[in-house]
Amino acid sequence: MGIRIGVIGAGAVGSTIAYVAMLRGIAHELVLVDALPHKAEAEARDLMHGSMFIPAVTVTSGTVEDCAGAAIVVITAGAKQKPGQSRLQLVETNVATFRNLIPRVLAAAPDAILLIVSNPVDVLTYVSLKLSGLPSSRVFGSGTVLDTSRFRFLLAQRLNVAAANVHAYIVGEHGDSEVPLWSSVHIAATALELFSSPSVPPLTESDREEIFRNVRDAAAQVIAAKGATNWAVGLAVERILEVILRDEQAILTVSSLLQDYHGISDVCVSVPSIVGRGGVRETLPLHISDDELELLRHSAGILRGIAGQLGF
């Protein structure tokens, strides 16, 4: 039997993840599951109509139970925030969904890695971990992998270099309290504060503020213009899947359980972590400024507080 990936939630994000994974040929079978079965079936059929142009991948639709034997189950299901709805109300709605969903996923695919993409991703990752009882290495969220990509793109754009040569991270919550690690930004092998180019003016404090504001508010900006974010998050999640299935031991800012980490415990939050076939192998210690560390602790505290309000 080949590698099977389950994708629960066939909306804009879930179907885009399936599309990118199909193009990359990282699995033999993708199973799409949605609360609207006809939606999942239509997405699967639409994808398979292009099968002559891609590696040999089968995309099907079905129920959670059809994810049986999956190596990874990606969860994008959940309600979107409505106008006037508080963040806590949104969390409560999605936690209720996860209370029903996680046991069904485990019954179908007890050996799977659970990759949480639904928002608020950090809290739902923690909830999934507690509901599943699985080792923390096997339950983690997409976290700030996309935020980190946005950060590198905007820095690269401002400095007129390739994004691949920018080494920078966003840590903490995937949300308003996320933290840019300016103190550790490097352009190739050169620290940001030492980087210079005759054709590019030095980065100012105003530039830094604008770049981070556009990272933090990126999703809201895109949603306001087109209704949803899907392409970049699809690419980010596919990259995580690729790292797992190829056992790359790559460093990604996924959201996973922290214990005694720079004074942070019992909360899922994003920090640079080594990811491979078994999931999150370990989190890496940070060498950052005191101010950044305090902001990270504050971000983790917000998430710990929300989980506590939910009874976890």
SS3 label, residue 204? coil
Q: What is the pLDDT of residue 86?
A: 60
Q: What residues are labeled active site?
A: 174
Q: What is the pLDDT of residue 225?
A: 92
pLDDT, tens digit, for every residue of 101-132? 999 999 999 999 999 999 999 999 999 999 99
Cis peptide before 103 (omega within 30 of 0): no
Q: What is the pLDDT of residue 261?
A: 97
Q: What is the pLDDT of residue 82?
A: 66
Q: What is the pLDDT of residue 22?
A: 96
Predicted TM-score of the model (pTM): 0.96
For residue 40, what are the contacts with CB-CB under 8 A and spacing of at least 6?
Answer: 10, 32, 33, 34, 61, 62
Sites in the chain below the pLDDT cut of 70:
1, 81-88
Could you give the CA distance from residue 75 to residue 61 in angstroms, rounded to a whole number?
Answer: 15
For residue 275, what are the contacts with CB-CB under 8 A and spacing of at least 6?
Answer: 240, 243, 244, 248, 249, 250, 251, 252, 254, 281
Could you give the CA distance from residue 156 to residue 162 in angstroms, rounded to a whole number?
Answer: 6
Give me the DSSP letters along 205-257. HHHHHHHHHHHHTHHHHHHHHHS---HHHHHHHHHHHHHHHTT--EEE--EEE
Q: Which domains does the chain have, with CATH numbers?
A: 4-141 (3.40.50.720), 145-309 (3.90.110.10)
Q: What is the pLDDT of residue 20?
A: 97
Q: How many CA atoms lie within 13 A of 151 on its CB side?
A: 26
